[in-house]
Amino acid sequence: MSKMIGLETTTKGEVRSQGKAIAYWSVTSLLAAAVIMSGIGQLLQYGGNLELVTSLGYPLYILTILGIWKVLGAIALLMPGFPRLKEWAYAGIFFLMTGAALSHAFANDYGDNGFNVILPLCYAALNIASWALRPKNRKL
């Protein structure tokens, strides 16, 4: 009987661990895909990025800087090892996304139904969820 109870406990723990791993990789993959696509769009100055940056009052070279940071940050989140680098990537993505939301808010550029503020805040929330769900081997 005690073996069976121990087996059930192990199974529940494994299911929780597996569920947490699935949640982590789902959230992290979605975050990395969104960040890397945004970064590539900024590097290529594609999809209205020029108009967006100039309407907020930033110089055009900021697209190159942000694009490089986003691509490198997304890669850092996905590659194995380097837990300190991952912490910096999470922090950088959080500051990029909250900074984008605040830039739009301060410029009164809310977009349709607040989209220009809500979208970066959703990415910041994904970033926090990915950070909170990360496995032990990805923590400092």
Q: Is residue 1 part of a domain?
A: no
Q: What is the pLDDT of residue 71?
A: 98
Cβ 116 vs Cβ 104: under 8 Å: yes
* Average pLDDT along the chain: 90
Confidence of residue 95 (pLDDT cuts 50, 70, 90): very high
What is the C-alpha to C-alpha distance for residues 93 and 70, in angstroms, rounded to an integer?
7
What is the C-alpha to C-alpha distance for residues 45 and 107, in angstroms, rounded to an integer?
21
DSSP letter (8 states) at residue 136: G
Task: List all residues 6 or more positions away from 62 whose beta carbon is below 8 Å from its beta carbon.
Answer: 53
Please tell me the total count of domains within the chain. 1
Mean pLDDT of 91-105: 97
* pLDDT one-digit tens code per residue, 23-63: 999 999 999 999 999 999 999 999 889 999 999 999 999 99
Mean pLDDT of 113-140: 93
Write down the pTM of the prediction: 0.84
Using the predicted structure, report yes or no on whether residue 7 has a pLDDT greater than 80: no
Using the predicted structure, report yes or no on whether residue 4 has a pLDDT greater than 70: no
Q: Is residue 3 part of a domain?
A: no
Q: Is residue 11 part of a domain?
A: no
Instruction: State which residues form the domain around 119.
Output: 18-133
Q: Is residue 12 part of a domain?
A: no
Cβ 52 vs Cβ 107: under 8 Å: no
